[in-house]
Amino acid sequence: MTFDPLSQPNDSVYISDQLVPGIVVISGLSAPREWEERRSFGMMGARLRYKGQKLSRFKLLVALYTEEHWKDWTQFAPLVRRPPPPDRSQLQAITSIPSLHRLMRTQAPPLTIRNPILEEYRITRVVVEDMTAPVEDDRGVWNIEIKLIQYQRPVRVLSTSGGTSRESGQSAQDRQIAALTNELNGLASEGNQ
């Protein structure tokens, strides 16, 4: 579904298939990219190297103003509230780095999120960075701010703007290094799962 607020207003946000109660406004949504600027001594201009997409950080501003909103919030809040600390049996089960990674993923797993504007930005999973306590404004509306960070597993995307393909001038040694690097990255990603 594309974002079209004039013909199809849809301000509903779903986190882990649960509707965020109240009136929700998405604030600070962006699609940041990282570029490295490479200059040569005595030259005007620069070559830009695309280093990849940065993770998007944004907020959900939730306004609760009816009893129904508060009733829905009490059911929804545990999903975004701070997770409980691990119990001692979980800590004693850590025998290696991979088991530590598995425990950490269960403590604050990424959550699915759905909204038409988030789909435009290709954001489908998030983690909660912070959540403020409810604050009442002068109109009697209770406001809560949920800060989110886009969750996306790393994917290799290297390129240079305005340049030629690197593969055309690669030596056999460069191709072997690239193949071994890809194999190493594959093994590392398997270890993170």
How many domains does the chain divide into? 2
Is there a single domain that holds both residue 36 and residue 62? yes
Is there a single domain that holds both residue 139 and residue 167? no
At 29, is the secondary structure helix, strand, or coil?
coil
Please report whether residue 42 resides in a domain: yes
Would you give per-residue pLDDT tens digits along the chain (193 residues)?
555 555 655 678 999 999 999 999 999 999 999 999 988 888 888 889 888 889 999 999 999 989 999 999 999 999 998 776 666 666 677 777 777 767 666 667 889 999 999 999 999 999 999 999 999 999 989 999 999 999 988 877 665 556 555 555 567 888 888 888 888 887 777 766 5
Q: Is 164 exposed, middle or buried (0-12, 13-18, 19+ CB in 10 A)?
A: exposed
Longest CA–CA separation in the chain, Å: 70
Tokens 């009136």 belong to: 23
